[in-house]
Amino acid sequence: MKPRLAGVDMPPEDVDAIVALVAEVEHAQQNALPEAFVELFRPDALWSLPYGTPVTGLEEIGAFCRRVLPATADQPLTSTYETEYIHFLRPDVAAVKIRQRPVTRDGELLDDLLRRPDTPGTRSGCRGSSANVRRWASLVATLPPAAPDTSLYVLTKSAGRWRISVAQDTTAIEPDGLAAA
């Protein structure tokens, strides 16, 4: 899926470079590679973690990643990263909306796992086998971050390379979920 674009007209190479950067984030996260992840940030970057904790500069970002990412290597879940929207504010600044979806290590998206119709059944409004629902519930119980996330990155381009200047990660709650609460 191609991202929606807005703002300053930019050549396709810049769009491709930003989509590739997001793919690098996904690769580093899925494979628990702290150094590969840290390389994607500017030295003076600001990253706000999902519950608001700020991490600033490569030293802090690196320390956080080296502490947290290796521990995720053996977890049964990781995430996919999809570039949904790119707003080019200037030729060297872009705001990028990223959708993160929980996925099992064997590549099954959790929301697809729930909707698989192999044995009809319903729970929480989702179709899927009771075994699938139990498997998902087990994953959520052991790994609360099984909920989808969303990120907003502000990227800047310097010396021909896009890097993360500011990042905000947030646990995603669908509007229907808020209405039901």
**Whole-number Å distance between alpha carbons of 57 and 14:** 25
Residue 180 lies in a domain: no
> DSSP labels for 16-68?
HHHHHHHHHHHHHHHTT-HHHHHTTEEEEEEEE-TTS-EEEHHHHHHHHHHHH
Among 67, 59, 86, smallest CA distance to 2 is for 86
Number of compact structural domains in the chain: 1
Residue 181 lies in a domain: no
Burial bucket for residue 12 (CB in 10 Å: 0-12, 13-18, 19+):
exposed
pLDDT tens digits for 112-160? 655 555 534 434 444 455 665 566 556 555 554 455 678 999 999 999 9
Say what the pTM is.
0.79
CATH number (domain holding residue 137):
3.10.450.50
Residue 177 lies in a domain: no
Residue 6 pairs in a beta bridge with 87
Give the residue-averaged pLDDT of 163-168.
Answer: 97
